[in-house]
Amino acid sequence: QVHLVESGGGLVQAGGSLRLSCAASGLTFSTYAMGWFRQAPGKEREFVGFIRRDGAMTYYADSVKGRFTISRDNAKNTVYLQMSSLKPEDTADYFCAADQRISNIRTPRGPDYWGQGTQVTVSS
């Protein structure tokens, strides 16, 4: 059974940084692209970014480009989301997702597997 478990969320002041982790089990991690999504209260889940299975390619939503960085450690079955220069509008529940096809990892309706989410609150 596949499990994705996010951690690292919390409360941070605007301009600060936070690093989220997502530990995967039950799948061959190195064969999956990994994505991050977020959902703010009352809003739809939105794509944040993804990383290719080998870690050699990343792609980000315009809203986070230059501030967020996704990395992965295939030896540890873990993907990371480093968030910097955080803004109050980054406040949301953050979810990691896994799919073997990049075409699926870029849309909230696509990924096969999801974590339960971790909450990030950015105070002004």
Splitting the chain (124 residues) into consecutive groups of 10 residues, what average pLDDT does each group show?
97 98 98 98 96 97 98 98 98 98 90 96 96
Neighbour count for residue 59 (Cβ, 10 Å): 16
Q: Looking at residue 98, what is its pLDDT?
A: 98
Q: Looking at residue 108, what is its pLDDT?
A: 87
**The token pair that represents 100 in the structure block:** 């073997």
Q: Looking at residue 55, what is its pLDDT?
A: 95
Half-sphere exposure of 99 (CA within 13 A, CB side): 17
Q: Looking at residue 110, what is its pLDDT?
A: 87
Cα 111 from Cα 11, distance rounded (Å): 28
Distance (Å) of CA 105 to CA 36, 61, 86, 109, 121: 9, 12, 24, 9, 24
